[in-house]
Amino acid sequence: ICGGSSRWPSPSAWAWSSINKSAATTAPATASPIPAATASCSQGDVEGRWRVYATVLQSPTPHWMNCDLTVTPAGAISNSSCDSPVQRNLQLSSGEIKIAVTTNCVFTARFELGGTPNSIQHATLSPEKSVASGVGASSDAYFTFTMIRTGAP
């Protein structure tokens, strides 16, 4: 059984055969249903209603936030509020989202949450313009967030 039988291919021949079968059954990259990663955006692409989930690193109590966000066609934030385990119904106001780089959907933002100024330093809108993710800060906290489009304004 362990002798040099010629009925079994060598390990290297078997590995090459497996690689070739795998390559032959893999779909070509052009058949992918995923949109191009270099989608372009305009200011109007952030308009709508969004659900925002954030992780807030703030001393002494790191926490999460859950926000309803409404953005006008010009990027202004209106009729928005947030809840967290620390505070509920915080008003999100005096803000705007601006597309900073149209060729790859990068945006920045500024807003007040419960009267405290916050800013989003870097965020990206997905190619299909339904999800965004990024990072930001206030004077006493840092945060990461994901936002999901839930509808028209």
Matching residue, tokens 């955006």: 41
**pLDDT (tens digit per residue) in 15-52:** 444 444 444 444 445 544 555 555 799 999 999 999 99
Query: Three-state SS for 10?
Result: coil
Summarize the confidence of residues 77-92 as an average pLDDT.
94
Q: In the chain, which ranges are continuous DSSP H helix?
A: 11-25
Tell whether the model's pLDDT for residue 64 goes beyond 80: yes
- The DSSP letter of residue 38 is T
Tell whether the model's pLDDT for residue 13 goes beyond 50: no
Query: Three-state SS for 57?
Result: strand
pLDDT band for 72, please (50, 70, 90 cuts). very high
**pLDDT (tens digit per residue) in 87-126:** 999 999 999 999 999 999 999 999 999 999 999 999 999 9
pLDDT (0 to 100) of residue 152? 84
* Dihedrals phi, psi of 55, to nearest 5 degrees: -110, 120
